[in-house]
Structure 1
Amino acid sequence: MLRKILGLKPACGGRNFVRNSSAAIMPPCNHKPKPYAGPNFEKVKKIKQENLVPCLLTYYRKPLLIHEGKMQWLFDHEGRRYLDMFGGIVTVSVGHCHPRVTDAAVQQMNQLWHTTNIYMHPKIHEYAETLAEKFPGELKVFYFVNSGSEANDLALFMARAHTKNSEVVSLRNGYHGMSPYIMGATALSTWKYNVNTGGGVHHTMNPDVYRGTWGGSRCRDSPVQTTRECTCTPETCEAAEHYYEQLQDVFRYSLPSGHVGAFIAESIQGVGGTVQFPKGYLKKAYEIVKANGGVCIADEVQTGFGRTGEHFWGFEMHGVTPDIVTMAKGMGNGFPMAGVVTTPAIAQSLSTALHFNTFGGNPVASAVGKAVLEVIEEEQLQRNCEVVGTHLLKGLAQLRSEFEEVVGDVRGKGLMVGVELVADPLTRAPLSSTNFVDIWEDCKDMGVLLGRGGLNGNVLRIKPPMCITAADADFTVEVLRKALSNHLQKKRKHLS
């Protein structure tokens, strides 16, 4: 296993596509995809245009038609291979079509697909018992749903029902989902519609130590710090204190007599661009919320299941214990499942009326979820996230040193990584969309698929399947190095 973590033995090896002779050689893979037999590329584009809603985002100027996946690899309709460094938006946790998870799904489908929870069936009980072992204290009562938006929606509803207070506080730049109820807690304007959504939510200043008002080189719990200077000490983070004062002002001025129903925050902001909070901030935020009658919700939709490496749940890195935790994405390795866990007392709040989710805790979903937990444990994927993620972060930090005029910040923990691209390193002005897409597209053409995030769409989101190796990380760094070099050559040629 250690050889795999260190990248000495790739997860698979063999066939390779080289798109650019100046780029690093793609790590080998011996998986041979089946010949594509679906509608041709142009037919798929036509169907998308005529039969799918236009808000369904497709990456890249020349979109990909993906038809097969194996562990950290994806294959397009022409058989080209790509290293998936985004994991289907932080969703493929243990690897595409992992045989252990696939077998669990097939075996359950051959036995019992669905009954819903009007009857007892063993899988949901087996899964709940196994998952409960991963949580501290009284966090042991689950409600299973189908997506992160549903989970956060339910968590907010549950908190309000329990506290009898409707006011909610969330962070600017936070993303919690797109259902009309939870959209009120999402505070990214690019994800907001001009219609009434969940009300009673107050957004406080985002504690961003790179782009925010305060913060610097001693503020983050990360192998890579921002280059901004600060006077913080190992014991005290001044940035956390300043951002906490802004949160205090929300309680003073915006909440009725300071009463609050809930506070919701991601452990590391995902869609917002892998933003990490200053050390100690979240702990102080939890304290003021609980002192004013509220409950604290940890959104672990992207940071959960070992992705941050050092801990199984992101909230653990902040030294806090939430009252409610939401989870999804990596929970099912791509299978549509999500969940909410809370204390027995808070769970009781849903007993005042009927509340039901037809597919939540479905036998197949529960079998898949249990298999995912077993694979994470047996293949030491949390440890892999810590080792390979730190290796990747340090490689990306070297790119920041080499390309400081365009790489503004490198941040993250484990395999939850962000690279912020800028037009000016002093003002931190975001790189234009056109230039960003040039770099992004170039990486894709050299075989590496990266995500995109941040309010301005200028952050490379790197959240791959947790089975990647150090060799995959090195390949990613080399491809990005070449793409950044191409960008700067093009820029200098244009200026000359």
Structure 2
Amino acid sequence: MADPEARRRALLQERRAVYGPNTSLSYKQPLHIVRGAGARLFDSGGAAYLDCVNNVTHVGHANEAVNAAICGQLALVNTNSRYLSEGLVELSKQLLATLPPNLEVVYLCNSGSEANDLALRMARAAAAARAGRAGAAPAAPHVACMASAYHGHLTSTMAISPYKFWGAHGAGKEPWVHVLPLPDTYRGHHLDGAASARGALAEARAAGGEVVAFIAESVLSCGGQTFFPEGYLPAVYAEMRAAGAVCIADEVQCGFGRMGDAFWGFQLAGVAPDAVVFGKPMGNGFPLSAVAVTRELANTFGAQEYFNTFGGCNAAAAAGLAVLSEIRRLDLQASAARVGARLLARLRALASEHPIIGDVRGRGLFVGIEVVRCPASKAPAPAAAEWIKEFALSRRVLLSTDGPFDNVLKIKPPMVFSEADADELVGVLSEALRALTGSEAARAAVEEAEAARYEARVAPTAARYEENAARIYAAAAAEAAAAAAARKLALLGVAGAPASGGASTSSGASSDGDWEPPAAVGPAVAGLAKSPLRAPAPAAR
């Protein structure tokens, strides 16, 4: 038998010779994974790793029921949706049964990127149809999204993904895209959804456009496992709908019971979207995604045929039905609630002993641990987060990092993750934190790396997002002031003065035009390079 380590190194070189150079590999020493089972992955040497990050294999790696359903269907037939299929109809019906009654129609696709693209096309078609009914020329279609959002790798979805276009080597924001500031509940910034929405709408109108769609993950995954503050998303939806925009919920990373308390993330926020996008976990690794929409959206989109070669194929439908069946059979939503509660409680206890854990947030099996340089400044610590991730790998526990500054440890394991798995993860994290804060050499190395990352990533990223926030709030303020001035002129009887400024003031803009932007602007990153790691607090006796 060949030496597994030698083969791993050779495979890495072979991949570099033939595969795309701008693709990524996890960890400094990439793993050669050859099989999986439940919440474990196994490398070519037989070592088992606890997988805390793979939300694609939702009902567990190599799930027997899902595999049997796919293989059984492939052994019979696998053709496209231009033929009648019980599986396609049944999967659509079962999906709709989990959703609000306003969502009545399903389209099946292959990936979350593709499904988000389709949702955008529908929103643009709806806006064009509305303009047509009014006998008016449609305004330029614009889209509003959340800061640090990721909605896919297509040209259309990269353009609405600040995580990419403002990330490393990003192309920058398109003029037709408007970015709502990330609501940072840990630092208390940008928590007013209505104000942010008004700013995005005003910025679009000032550019001669109309926001036809607002898209947001129901929980912001690439934004650092960030949950919307109470009332935020309903306020944004209200402003967007008042302006005629379609509200799209991206459930690709957070749906299918992962929240524990709800089957879909948007249910926790108290909203009913006009379109919901599903992906990743829907096929447990088989390429499958979907969009569920209102009847009105489907009808306005339906003039030209929509066809997808593999979307809705027999094997995809079999995979989707098997995943839903396994979620029910294994009671995975309740399991996520139970295991997640235990995990969060233990992580918060750990945070009380280690000040570099600034925040622990989550619901169910969707958890983020924000690593900071000190609790006072709350300065991001991406190098420390990476150190912890690599230490966990050495103990055969797989984690990832994410967020605008890459300082959030992201936990979103297969839903079969058990309480014993949660305890194992916490034990390894505890060991990692003691090793980091208890070693002068480790702290010094991480501090040096933090200073470099501050200059290379933290400061430039913060500047981009704060410049955007300032523009958004300024646009809302300018529009409100213009509307107020127009009203005053109209009251004075000035000839030609409009009755209103055309701005939406549905939820908070003052009738006198004295609306003020939120006082807190951004994560205050100036001087963060001087905030050192702190040693753990003494254990309680």
TM-score in same-fold range (> 0.5): yes
1:54 pairs, out of 11, 21, 31, with: 21
Question: Which residue does the alignment assign to 1:419?
Answer: 369
Other-structure match for 1:40: 7
Which of 142, 145, 156 is 1:181 aligned to?
Answer: 156
The alpha-carbon distance between structure 1 residues 290 and 181, as it changes in their structure 2 partners (threshold 3 A), is same
SS at the partner of 1:479?
helix
1:444 alignment partner in structure 2: 393
Shift of 1:63: 1.1
Select the residue among 48, 51, 54 that pairs with 1:84: 51
Q: Map Cα deviations across residues 115-167 of structure 1 (whole Å, 9 max, x no partner).
A: 21222222212211222211111212111111111111111111111122612
Q: Deviations over 1:427-459 (max 9, x none)?
A: 1211143x3322111101112111221122111
Does residue 118 (structure 1) correspond to residue 88 (structure 2)? The answer is no
**1:423–1:432 Cα contact (<8 Å) kept:** no
Per-residue CA distance 1:330-352 (angstroms, 9 max, x = gap): 11111111111101110123222
| Alpha-carbon distance, 1:361 to partner | 0.9
- The CA distance in 1 between the partners of 2:61 and 2:24, in whole Å, is 21
Output the CA distance in 1 between the equivalents of 2:286 and 2:2: 24
Q: C-alpha separation between the residues in 2 aligned to 1:137 and 1:147?
A: 24
- The structure having more radius of gyration, on CA atoms, is 2
Q: Distance in 2 between matches of 1:168 and 1:455?
A: 21
Aligned mates of 2:2, 2:68 — CA distance in 1? 23
- Residues 441 and 202 of structure 1: CA distance in aligned 2, closer, same or farther (over 3 Å): same
Q: Which of 374, 378, 385 is equivalent to 2:325?
A: 374
Distance, in Å, in 1 between the alignment partners of 2:15 and 2:348 is: 39
Q: Residues 494, 200 of structure 1: CA spacing in aligned structure 2 closer, same or farther, 3 A cutoff?
A: closer
Tell me whether 1:67 sits opposite 2:17 in the alignment: no
Q: How many residues are treated as equivalent by the alignment? A: 432
Q: Measure the CA separation in 1 of the matches of 2:443 and 2:413.
A: 34
Counterpart for residue 391 of structure 1: 342
Q: Which residue of 1 aligns with 2:200?
A: 250
**1:169 matched to 2:144:** yes
Change (3 A) 1:369 1:201: same
Q: Higher mean Cα deviation, 417-426 or 182-191?
A: 182-191
Q: After superposition, give the CA deviation of every residue in 1:384-442 in whole Å (9 maximum; x if it has no partner).
A: 111101111111111111111x1111111110100011112221211143x33221111
Matched, 1:330 2:281: yes
The answer on 1:97 being equivalent to 2:45 is no
Q: Please name the residue that 2:215 is paired with.
A: 264
1:431 aligns with 2:368: no
Give the match's secondary structure for 2:36: strand
2:102 corresponds, among 132, 138, 141, to 138
**Which deviations, in whole Å up to 9, do the C-alpha atoms of 1:265-315 show, x marking residues without a partner?**
111111221011110100111111111111100010011100001111100
Amino acid of the structure 1 residue aligned with 2:430:
R
**Letter of the aligned partner of 1:420 in structure 2?**
E
Q: How far did residue 493 of structure 1 move? A: 7.0
Distance in structure 2 (CA, Å) of the matches to 1:246 and 1:491: 44
Query: Is structure 2 residue 428 aligned with structure 1 residue 479?
Result: yes
Residue matched to 1:407: 357
What per-residue deviation string (whole Å, max 9, x for no partner) do you get for residues 339-373 of structure 1? 11101110123222233211101111110100000
Counterparts of 1:353 and 1:243, CA distance in 2: 36
Q: Any conservation in 2 of the 1:167–1:255 contact (CA below 8 Å)?
A: no
- CA pair 83-172 structure 1, distance change in 2 beyond 3 A: same
- Which is bigger in relative contact order (C-alpha 8 A, separation at least 6)? 1
1:130–1:253 distance in 2 versus 1, CA, 3 Å: closer
Contact 1:271 1:454 in 2 (8 A): yes
Contact 1:60 1:437 in 2 (8 A): no
Contact 2:66–2:322 at 8 Å: present in 1 too?
yes
Structure 1 residue 191, shift from structure 2 partner: 4.4
How far is 1:380 from its partner? 0.6
State the AA in 1 paired with 2:239: I
4+ residue runs of structure 1 moved beyond 6 angstroms? 34-39
Corresponding residue to 1:469 among 410, 414, 418: 418
> Could you report, residue by residue, the CA deviation over 1:169-193 in whole angstroms, capped at 9, with x for unpaired residues?
1111211112111112111255475
Structure 1: distance between partners of 2:66 and 2:440: 46
One-letter amino acid of the counterpart of residue 15, structure 2? K
| Distance (Å, rounded) in 2 between the aligned partners of 1:38 and 1:123 | 44
Encode CA deviations 1:214-267: one digit per residue, 9 max, x unaligned: 5xxxxxxxxxxxxxxxxxxxxxxxx4xx34223222223432689421111111
Q: Select which of 267, 291, 297 maps to 2:242.
A: 291
Secondary structure, counterpart of 1:181 in structure 2? helix
Report the Cα distance in structure 2 between the residues aligned to 1:488 and 1:37, rounded to whole angstroms. Answer: 33
SS at match of 2:75: helix
Q: 1:204 aligns with which of 168, 172, 180?
A: 180
Structure 1 residues 212 and 183, CA, compared in 2 at 3 Å: closer, same or farther? Answer: farther
When normalised by structure 2's length, the TM-score is: 0.76
**Contact (CA 8 Å) 1:308, 1:414: kept in 2 or not?**
yes
Over 3 Å counting, the alpha-carbon distance change for 1:36 and 1:352 in structure 2 is farther
Query: How big is the shift at 1:195?
Result: 4.5
Shift of 1:483: 0.6
Contact 1:190 1:455 in 2 (8 A): no
Aligned to 1:224: none
Moved more, 483-492 or 367-376: 483-492
Q: 1:494 to 1:463 in 2, by over 3 A?
A: closer
Contact 1:258 1:292 in 2 (8 A): no
Are 1:206 and 1:212, in contact at CA under 8 Å, matched by a contact in 2?
no
Q: Is the 8 A contact 1:443 1:449 kept in 2?
A: yes
Given the superposition, is the C-alpha separation of residues 345 and 192 from structure 1 closer, same or farther in structure 2, using an over 3 Å criterion?
farther
Percent identical across equivalent pairs?
38
**Amino acid across the alignment from 1:68:** R
Q: Which amino acid aligns with 1:202?
A: H
SS at match of 1:320: coil
SS at match of 1:340: strand
